[in-house]
């Protein structure tokens, strides 16, 4: 756990301690820092001392703090009861790069609900920059920073990580469409690299190109694919999105803003030659003949195609058996990118899901109260509970029923709840899902379903649970085995 440190103490420890002792000192504060960064801090400290800053102005800094899972790093952070001061350190840089970084920092720190004052100190030139209230970059005297540090009433934060919720930064093109269209989001470093490589390749020349973007739920693959589309649209290029599922309200909003979006059932009516890029979203749900047809038509149209997919997000046994993700990877000359599963997701819920779906898996779980378990012994009482949940707080999701037969899960699922197919690719702050008494564990530890259903219930349960960003409410119906497993995980 990272602890705040006095900057002067850090510098004097570096100056006088042996290397091993200094490293132990850094480890105590949870600090990882390079020699060049220490020199930048030294130059900043000298500038502040030169304008009369006292020792307490150097106190309570977090050095090199990273937001959990996202990896977004801040050089210096200082938290006050009414404000946050962020200072970035550069040996040298350009005003354009400085402004871009400070705007990004303002975005990430803005979720904490306190006014943020942002600075960048360039050690080579001894120049201090700040971002004003209108987001203009300006040069200020060191005394300006010194004044902020002197008047700030330091807030003693015990657990800094708990201030940041990684899911706050996962913007969905479907559930936060307005923010997406306005560009009010940032990509991770990995996503930016993939984005820049794909766009550069598409803009190089008119040619047939295939790209694969894969990743687990919560890794931001959908945002990345749609961000590439938005960038090309802003560059006056033509983009078509083919969604392998039912279109949602976010798709409708994109269409009202000029996007070309069609469900997979309509793709054959589209002339690919009119587009520079075709994005196939949730491509793991394609049929083999659809994949082959799209690949052939892309080749004839001489345009680019991105397949965005997650091999785990299948809803029927046939989809899982087809293993379209592997077939996409075997397309000739395709360039494949896989997003890390540790970025942009709620780690507590992600680890819980892994252990829920296999009772032989064990991970240390940070139980922060984001997962609730409620038990009912009848379908009727469970349905009454689900029906009573506030729509403002919980999104209740149900399994997709068969079009031909009545299935057991329909007894406790209200028809007003969105189905697994309806929420493909979407995210919600809080999700409630029922688990009935037909769920159990197989010999290999995997979660199985012993009842009869047209679509695969374990796959639909996985789809529904992974739609949550922050909170999960499991409603267990007359299933002591699953209740015991959930309680054991949370214990």
| Domain range annotation of the chain | 7-164, 177-338, 347-490
CATH class of 7-164: alpha beta
Per-residue pLDDT of the chain (491 residues; tens, 9 = 90+): 889 999 999 999 999 999 999 999 999 999 999 989 999 999 999 999 999 998 889 999 999 999 877 778 999 999 998 899 999 999 999 999 999 999 999 999 998 989 999 999 999 999 999 999 899 999 999 999 999 999 998 887 878 888 887 767 778 899 889 989 988 888 888 888 999 999 999 999 888 999 999 988 778 889 999 999 999 999 999 999 999 988 999 999 999 999 999 999 999 999 999 999 999 999 998 999 999 999 999 999 999 999 999 877 766 666 676 788 889 999 999 999 998 755 555 778 888 999 999 999 998 887 778 899 999 999 999 999 999 987 778 999 999 998 888 889 999 998 899 999 888 888 888 999 999 999 999 999 999 999 999 999 999 999 999 989 889 999 999 999 999 999 999 98
CA atoms within 13 A on the CB side of 471: 12
- Other C-beta atoms closer than 10 Å to the C-beta of 300 total 10
| Strands in 237-382 per DSSP E | 239-243, 260-263, 277-281, 304-309, 335-338, 371-376
C-alpha distance from residue 378 to each of 54, 191, 374, 437, 452 (Å): 67, 46, 12, 10, 19
Bridge partners (DSSP) listed for residue 89: 121
What pLDDT, on a 0 to 100 scale, did the predictor assign at position 313? 73
User: What's the chain's length in residues?
Assistant: 491
Contact 68, 167 (CB under 8 A): no
What pLDDT, on a 0 to 100 scale, did the predictor assign at position 321? 63
Contact 278, 243 (CB under 8 A): no
What 3-state DSSP class applies to 47?
A: helix
What pLDDT, on a 0 to 100 scale, did the predictor assign at position 315? 64
- Other C-beta atoms closer than 10 Å to the C-beta of 361 total 13
Q: Which residues contact 370 (CB under 8 A, 6 or more apart)?
A: 346, 348, 349, 470, 471, 472
Token pair belonging to 284:
């793991």
* Residue with tokens 């991970």, as numbered in its chain: 363
Rounded CA-CA distance 427/174 in Å is 8
Quickly list DSSP for 203-236. Answer: HH-S--EEEEEE--TTS-HHHHHHHHHHHHHHTT
Q: Do domains 177-338 and 347-490 have the same CATH topology?
A: yes
Token pair belonging to 3:
């602890």
Rounded CA-CA distance 469/462 in Å is 14
Shortest CA distance to 338 belongs to which of 213, 425, 220, 228?
A: 213
The domain made up of 347-490 has a fold known as Rossmann fold (3.40.50)
What pLDDT, on a 0 to 100 scale, did the predictor assign at position 319? 67
What pLDDT, on a 0 to 100 scale, did the predictor assign at position 341? 59
Bridge partners (DSSP) listed for residue 74: 65
Rounded CA-CA distance 202/196 in Å is 10
What pLDDT, on a 0 to 100 scale, did the predictor assign at position 217? 76
What pLDDT, on a 0 to 100 scale, did the predictor assign at position 343? 57
Alpha carbon 82 to its chain's center:
28
Q: What is the pTM of this model?
A: 0.74
* Phi-psi label, residue 301: left if phi above 0, alpha if psi -120 to 50, beta otherwise: alpha
What pLDDT, on a 0 to 100 scale, did the predictor assign at position 342? 57
Q: Which residues contact 401 (CB under 8 A, 6 or more apart)?
A: 407, 409, 410, 413, 419, 454
User: Pairing state of beta strands 239-243 and 277-281?
Assistant: parallel
Rounded CA-CA distance 275/282 in Å is 20
Alpha carbon 350 to its chain's center:
12
Q: Indicate the CATH number of 177-338 among 3.40.50.150, 3.40.50.970, 3.40.50.300, 3.20.20.70.
A: 3.40.50.300
């Amino acid at each position: 756990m990272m602890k705040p440190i006095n900057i002067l103490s850090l510098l004097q420890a570096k100056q006088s301690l042996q290397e091993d002792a200094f490293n132990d000192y850094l480890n105590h504060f949870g600090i990882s820092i390079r020699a060049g960064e220490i020199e930048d801090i030294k130059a900043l400290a000298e500038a502040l001392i030169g304008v009369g800053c006292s020792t307490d102005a150097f106190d309570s800094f977090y050095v090199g703090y990273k937001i959990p899972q996202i990896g977004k790093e801040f050089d210096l952070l200082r938290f006050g009861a009414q404000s946050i001061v962020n200072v970035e350190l550069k040996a040298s840089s350009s005003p354009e790069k400085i402004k871009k970084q400070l705007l990004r920092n303002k975005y990430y720190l803005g979720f904490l609900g306190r006014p943020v004052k942002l600075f960048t100190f360039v050690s080579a030139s001894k120049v201090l920059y700040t971002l004003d209230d209108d987001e203009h970059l300006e040069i200020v005297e060191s005394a300006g920073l010194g004044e902020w540090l002197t008047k700030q009433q330091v807030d003693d934060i015990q657990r800094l990580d708990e201030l940041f919720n990684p899911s706050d930064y996962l913007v969905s093109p479907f559930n936060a469409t307005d923010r997406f269209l306005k560009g009010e989001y940032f990509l991770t470093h990995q996503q930016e690299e993939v984005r820049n490589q794909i766009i550069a390749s598409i803009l190089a020349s008119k040619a047939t190109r295939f790209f694969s973007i894969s990743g687990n739920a919560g890794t931001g693959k959908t945002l990345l694919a749609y961000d590439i589309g938005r960038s090309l649209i802003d560059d006056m290029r033509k983009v078509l999105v083919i969604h392998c599922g039912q279109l949602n309200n976010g798709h409708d909003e994109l269409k009202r803003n000029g996007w070309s979006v069609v469900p997979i059932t309509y793709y054959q009516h589209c002339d690919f030659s009119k587009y520079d890029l075709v994005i196939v979203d949730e491509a793991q749900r394609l049929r083999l003949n659809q994949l082959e047809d799209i690949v052939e038509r892309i080749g004839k149209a001489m345009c680019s195609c991105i397949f965005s997919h997650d091999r785990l997000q299948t809803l029927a046994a046939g989809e899982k058996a087809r293993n379209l993700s592997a077939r996409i990877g075997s397309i000739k000359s395709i360039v494949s990118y896989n997003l890390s599963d540790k970025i942009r997701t709620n780690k507590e819920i992600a680890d819980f899901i892994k252990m829920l779906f296999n009772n032989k898996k064990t991970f240390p779980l940070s139980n922060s109260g984001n997962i609730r378990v409620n038990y009912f012994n009848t379908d009727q009482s469970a349905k009454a509970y689900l029906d009573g949940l506030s729509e403002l707080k919980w999104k209740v999701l149900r399994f997709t029923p068969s079009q031909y037969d009545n299935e057991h899960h329909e007894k406790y699922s209200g028809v007003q709840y969105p189905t697994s197919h309806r929420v493909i690719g979407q995210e919600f702050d809080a999700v409630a899902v029922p688990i009935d008494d037909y769920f159990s564990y197989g010999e290999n530890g995997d979660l199985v379903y012993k009842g009869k259903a047209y679509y695969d219930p374990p796959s639909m349960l996985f789809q529904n649970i992974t739609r949550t960003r922050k909170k999960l409410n499991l409603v267990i119906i007359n299933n002591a085995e699953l209740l015991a497993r959930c309680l054991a995980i949370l214990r």
